[in-house]
Structure 1
């Protein structure tokens, strides 16, 4: 069964799924000032759009998704485009609001699977960073087998776990605790790697050493590093890799996202090099500026704009169905055995 915020659902008849989205989040702790030390005033609007695209992290309000009504409406629009389900991957460090998710699911008609986890060290409250591995394991096991704290539903998987370029002690404890808890509960773990490092195979090794099957590991936003040799090495661990489309932003100092055209071409090259690669797709919406009402691509971008282009890079119908439906189901369908 797949654990959603409205209860367990049979995977039979499951539809297109985005494996990494955010509906309510607060990442203002990641805000970066402009070169003069100031910040852009928000919310995003037409007259600031150029500055925002050039300095995506410099508008604190852009780094929040804070309106359940907006989330429901944006998801409903994506549902009209064919979206069946999303993984809501907002973890501790990004201001999760788990208790608000059931109403968004009811209003939008989109299945929401809640992940539960902790993000990169620098975003975390000291209380979390100071937890022992055993204490983290207890929290993760409770979320998977009993309920996400403050709610009546169980987490569908653990994540989004963050790793820094140099994996910190707290991040290492979280990885090991999550691997053990997920292996015990027949669940999966999603990871966001730091693009400044090449630690995918190392992180996969940490998780599989806890007993977690490699096919239960999802590396989100793998498109942050378009290095075919490296991504092939990640794929060769048996883990799943996710491509997130719809963002083309700069972060100051010459740092920018790849374009969707670059992502598409790389995805085609990966499929050619590794025909059996396990791949999922997402829009990875986590900021206001990615919502359609603020001029962004929205939660339906993959289905409306990317899917029609995938055949052109060598993704046939069977592979597309695997990316959008079968692979997400394999990640989300829990295989726990009664204790």
Structure 2
């Protein structure tokens, strides 16, 4: 069975994915960000168009279940922009949900994830889970166990929100050690927020992908170390396991407002990576690596 990337318009061969923003959001809403919802379809299309104008061909939306993903709007946005979109199932930290929401699905999480990956009208192409700040609480452990079960049933990749980049090795112990998820099916997000190159190297040695996402946000004090972190991984032989994403989560972060948004990956970061680290590494991070990270040998339970 050939590995395919599952987009909102159907499965495609990995080589068709193209230049990819490996972690972003077109729609998202959380009680932790009142008044900062991404809920404007026209603004989402404008962001996709600006990304596509610079050569962007794919965006992976990591917004999981329950955070107003507007999944049914994604196929139309993909068609209009010409950009492949990969959607996510999964679940974020408990604080991102209202009263009663988690209890309603607590005992059926794995089935929920599997259904959204295989039988939904607009299928998800990955599972998103989340750790906490330097720890994994009971909620995170429960969600990751369900994600592992859904992965084993479908082969879907598992993307992990690392809170401020922490608890990476704890996540690997749980997902890969306890629950048997193959490391190359795991993507650790927000690696740059905890710029410990030794931890990055240990995670890469295990075989996971490391996503450096949200590097354009002004409040990320570790952004100046981004290229150093990429160089350290490349020098250690792990250039093929690095991804890059904009992780736009508020309206003001979009390029059409005050922020750099999706286009910054290609207008700002790509030229720096090509100049300082080489065009081959830039191509690997933006094209070849995402094609492998999000491809799966999809199974139908």
- TM-score for the superposition, normalised by structure 2: 0.90
Listed as ranges, the matches of 1:27-42 within 5 Å are 27=30, 29-31=31-33
Residues 1:125 and 2:87 aligned together:
no
Listed as ranges, the matches of 1:1-339 within 5 Å are 1-27=4-30, 29-31=31-33, 60-61=34-35, 63-92=36-65, 94-130=67-103, 135-147=108-120, 152-159=121-128, 161-165=129-133, 166-195=135-164, 198-208=166-176, 209-250=178-219, 257-258=220-221, 260-276=223-239, 278-314=241-277, 316-337=278-299
CA 72–132 in structure 1, closer or farther in 2 if over 3 Å, else same: closer
**Separation of aligned partners in 2, 1:133 and 1:236:** 34
CA 337–192 in structure 1, closer or farther in 2 if over 3 Å, else same: closer
CA shift, 1:198, in A, is 3.6
Q: Contact between 1:86 and 1:113, CA under 8 Å: does it hold in 2?
A: yes
Q: Contact between 1:187 and 1:331, CA under 8 Å: does it hold in 2?
A: no
CA 111–82 in structure 1, closer or farther in 2 if over 3 Å, else same: same
Aligned length: 296
CA 120–285 in structure 1, closer or farther in 2 if over 3 Å, else same: same
CA shift, 1:71, in A, is 0.4
CA shift, 1:210, in A, is 2.3
RMSD of aligned Cα (Å): 2.1
CA 194–246 in structure 1, closer or farther in 2 if over 3 Å, else same: closer
**Separation of aligned partners in 2, 1:205 and 1:100:** 37
**Separation of aligned partners in 2, 1:69 and 1:138:** 33
Structure 2 unaligned residues grouped into runs of 5+: none
For the pair shown, the structure with the greater C-alpha radius of gyration is 1
**Separation of aligned partners in 2, 1:283 and 1:8:** 24
CA 302–283 in structure 1, closer or farther in 2 if over 3 Å, else same: same
CA shift, 1:163, in A, is 1.4
Structure 1 unaligned residues grouped into runs of 5+: 32-59, 251-256
Q: Contact between 1:18 and 1:281, CA under 8 Å: does it hold in 2?
A: yes
CA shift, 1:173, in A, is 1.0
Deviations 1:143-200 (A, max 9, x none): 11211xxxx12111111x12112322222111011012112212101011122x7411
**Separation of aligned partners in 2, 1:5 and 1:277:** 26
**Of 92-101 and 227-236, the range deviating more from structure 2:** 92-101
- TM-score for the superposition, normalised by structure 1: 0.81
